[in-house]
Amino acid sequence: MKLEGYSIIGSQRGAGAGGTWQAKNPATGEELETVFHGENEEGVNQAVALAEEAFATFGEAEGKVRAELLRAIAEEIDAVEEEIVPRMMAESALPEPRCRGEKGRTVGQLRMFADLVEEGSWVDARIDLAQPDRAPIPKPDLRSMQRSIGPVAVFCASNFPLAFSVAGGDTASALAAGCPVIVRAHSAHPGTAEIVGKAVQAAVAKCGLPEGVFSLIFDDGIELGTALAKHPGIKAIGFTGSRAGGRALMDVAAAREVPIPVYAEMSSINPIFVLPGAMAERGAQIAEGLVGSVSLGVGQFCTSPGLVFTTGEGSDDFAAKVAEGLGAVAPATMLHEGIAKNYCNGVSKMSSQEGVEQIASVDSSGCQAGPAVFQTKVSEFLSNENLSAEVFGPATLLVNCDSDVDYLAAAESLEGQLTASVHGTEEDLKAAGPLLSLLSRRAGRLIVNGFPTGVDVCPSMVHGGPYPATSDGSSSSVGTRAIGRFTRSVSWQGMPEHLLPAELQSSNPLGIWRLVDGQLSKEPV
């Protein structure tokens, strides 16, 4: 497939009346072929108009129709894997196994949501039967379920060119819910975006769905993203990226005449607490695990552990081992210049903080980044908020504490996090109740004796946490819970049987779980 370099507006090619640019190979600095043409606001308006039109039918399409679409998208993506992988590698410097793995995750997510909406119980159907004889007033027949919220704008993540981009988790969950999606491509990997965008466009056409179910907008600046977020036709936003970018979108959305929800996954330093027994018993092993987790993917995961609290016997050896391990990791190419530059700035700022010692340093230059390990004392950590700033990349800060009593104060001082991890022996953990409780209030996922990188895609995953980890700390952007972000509750009172959605019809034609007069059941009523 030859790349064209234009936005996808429903079934059409965008006019490309905005600015142009070429993607760059971050490993070589070379410009990659194909000039990409940014869209202008007219293109955004067209895409939203098509999405609104599509919503009228797609928003009420049966679950199996949406499942078919999601599976068709997965098939189309599978079919172009050999086109995706080289372009993705060139645009992101991610190694081939990671690209193939991420493709697997992407189609896996699409199929997971297909299964979810085909089965159908996710809608939380509720039926309260009429009680005409109830005193003082009769009870009406009332039924409710989750319905799609409307057209959704999705912003591609730089660090997941597939799994959190054009047909990634946000898009999959929004389409699963019945929401048309308009994606704003990331300017660093537009070629990957186009290949996947064409796959989605083809799937929409094959399924005979309205073209407005999907559009893909190219833009080399931030104007069109802002225009999308402000457009009255957009009803929710999915975003994965920086804290500044996410907050800017939140502010735009909150200032609209009709405010809309923003689901932004933004910033997390993913603290790890090593309890004293575990440190004494297997500090070296934990250090080894940490080295792997910090350096994985050049530290470019939102769950990369940037902060480790240590104490007790073995802490010094632990620090030495972490420094040795990460110090021996060769520099590797980051996703793009901007990320690499931010990383270098972050490392430089951290190393200049009073009371912070850099105990491992691998040279970084251009897009090449090497790990950095810092060390400080808990008193410094608690008195200097710069020490809890996110340094996105393979850096981590070890905070030495006098005892694990300090852990509570340290945990108390933390902002909202995607994850928090605790390493402990059985004995350690017995005494760690207050710490575990506190961390469950600070983070979306609490990990015992493991590392935060590796986010399983399953029903019980919570990938989200209190602000600034995410804009909406009550939701998850990974796993089946993610669909709930793009729905609203709707109830029908006294509605004739045949006009009800299938999920709420008395005979339960879909055979789903429903809450009938307060009891879960698959029975007809």
Interface residues for its own copies in 493-522 (CB under 8 A)? 493-496, 499, 513, 515, 518, 520
- Shortest distance (Å) from residue 459 CB to its own copies: 5
Q: Which is nearer to its own copies, 134 or 349 (CB)?
A: 134
The active-site residue out of 302, 344, 367, 401 is 302
Q: Which is nearer to its own copies, 283 or 444 (CB)?
A: 444
Interface residues for its own copies in 81-110 (CB under 8 A)? 101
Written as six digits, the tokens of 382 are 């608690």
Query: Per CB under 8 A, does 300 bind its own copies?
Result: no
From residue 38 to residue 77, what is the string marking binding to its own copies with x (rule CB under 8 A)?
Answer: -----------------xx--xx-----------------
Q: Which is nearer to its own copies, 323 or 439 (CB)?
A: 439
Burial readout 449-482 (b: 16 or more C-beta within 10 A, e: otherwise): eebbbebebeeebbbbbbbbbbbbbebbbbbbbb
Query: Per CB under 8 A, does 445 bind its own copies?
Result: yes
Interface residues for its own copies in 145-164 (CB under 8 A)? 147, 149-150
Question: Rounded to 5, what percent of the chain is helix, strand, coil?
Answer: 40, 20, 40
Written as six digits, the tokens of 28 are 């070589």
| Distance (Å) of CA 356 to CA 262, 299, 374, 379 | 36, 20, 6, 11
The active-site residue out of 53, 91, 211, 265 is 265
d(CA 513, CA 273): 41
Number of H helices, E strands in the chain: 15, 23
The DSSP secondary-structure symbol of 291 reads H
Beta bridge partners of 516: 127, 519
From residue 401 to residue 420, what is the string marking binding to its own copies with x (rule CB under 8 A)?
Answer: ---------------x----
- Catalytic residue status for 156: no
Among 488, 502, 506, 525, binds its own copies (CB under 8 A): 488
Among 354, 490, 507, 523, binds its own copies (CB under 8 A): 490
Query: Per CB under 8 A, does 472 bind its own copies?
Result: yes
SS3 per-residue string spanning 122-164 = HHCEEEECCECCCCCCCECCEEEEEEECCCEEEECCCCCCCCC
Q: Which is nearer to its own copies, 363 or 494 (CB)?
A: 494
- Shortest distance (Å) from residue 214 CB to its own copies: 20
Of residues 128, 70, 119, the one with CA closest to residue 510: 119
d(CA 88, CA 86): 5
Written as six digits, the tokens of 385 are 């908020």
- Shortest distance (Å) from residue 47 CB to its own copies: 19
Using CA atoms in the order 193, 194, 200, 204, what is the torsion angle rounded to 10 degrees? 140
From residue 448 to residue 467, what is the string marking binding to its own copies with x (rule CB under 8 A)?
Answer: xxx---x-x-xxxxx-x-xx
> Is residue 425 within 8 Å of residue 276, measured between CB atoms?
no
Q: Which is nearer to its own copies, 143 or 198 (CB)?
A: 143
Query: Per CB under 8 A, does 468 bind its own copies?
Result: yes
Written as six digits, the tokens of 512 are 């789903």
Query: Per CB under 8 A, does 440 bind its own copies?
Result: yes
- Shortest distance (Å) from residue 115 CB to its own copies: 8
- Catalytic residue status for 302: yes
- Shortest distance (Å) from residue 486 CB to its own copies: 9
- Shortest distance (Å) from residue 463 CB to its own copies: 9
- Shortest distance (Å) from residue 127 CB to its own copies: 6
Q: Which is nearer to its own copies, 38 or 261 (CB)?
A: 261
Among 189, 282, 336, 481, binds its own copies (CB under 8 A): 481
Among 259, 355, 509, 511, binds its own copies (CB under 8 A): 259
From residue 210 to residue 249, what is the string marking binding to its own copies with x (rule CB under 8 A)?
Answer: ----------------------------------------
Non-local (6+) Cβ contacts of 180 within 8 A are 50, 51, 52, 54, 55, 58, 59, 150, 151, 152, 212, 213, 214
> Is residue 489 within 8 Å of residue 250, measured between CB atoms?
no
The residues annotated as belonging to the active site are: 265, 302
